[in-house]
Structures are given as C-alpha cells and as structure tokens.
Amino acid sequence: MVEPDFDKRGGLVTAIAQDADNGEILMVAYMNREAWRHTIATRRGKYWSTSRNELWVKGDTSGHVQHVREIFVDCDADVVLLKVEQTGAACHEGYRNCFFRRLDGETWRVIADRVTP
C-alpha cells in the first residue's frame, strides 16, 4: 500500500476534502497513518483531531458523512486531496463548507447561509 509521507510533519498529513461534483473546497483536516488506512479501506473520511487528540470519522456524530470517490497526493507527499460526496454540512458550524468568510476590505464577510441549524 502506497502512503503519503507521514514523517515530514510529525506523523500527520494535511487532508483537503473537495466536492467531487462542483470543486467546492469543503474542509481541511489532518490524517495520521491510522486515519489514512481506515479512509482507504472504508472510503469514508477519517481524520485526526489536533485539538482533541483523537481519531474521528466525518459524520459519525453529525450524520454528515463523506464518501471518498478519489484520492490524490501532492508533489511533496504531505498533502492529500480527497474528492468526496458530502452529505449535508461539511463544516461543524453548519455551513456547507468551512470557507464561508471572505476578506472584504478590512473585514471578514460571511458569504453563505447555514445548511443545517
């Protein structure tokens, strides 16, 4: 099994989840080797939480599951790109994606509505 380079950044790689249909960047998280292997085996996005120091499967508590359609790795092998089918909100704040604030002059402007409460 080929793998990204977990040694470069202390055991973790950055993982970007992108909507497989429309190219929208949904969220950015981290994977350790266990999360990576689980994701490959199940085609469900599993990540390592750097704030809680634990593994989590996207959607296990929220129901907003993530089916992984394709996986890419970058030239440096320390970032992986998952093209996914995302149910509901990818962002834990209820937005479809985590990038709902755009720089507008001197402020961040919220440019999306929540898709879940």
In angstroms, what is the minimal distance from the CB of 50 to a copy of itself?
8
Query: Under the rule (CB under 8 A), what is the footprint of a copy of itself?
Result: 1-2, 14, 16, 18, 22-25, 27-28, 40, 70-76, 79, 81, 91-93, 95, 98-103, 106-108
Nearer to a copy of itself, 60 or 101 (CB): 101
Do 47 and 29 form a contact (C-beta atoms < 8 A)?
yes
In angstroms, what is the minimal distance from the CB of 24 to a copy of itself?
7
In angstroms, what is the minimal distance from the CB of 98 to a copy of itself?
4
Residue 91 to residues 15, 61, 73, 88, Cα–Cα distance (Å): 14, 13, 23, 9
Residue 23 to residues 33, 72, 81, 83, Cα–Cα distance (Å): 26, 14, 11, 8
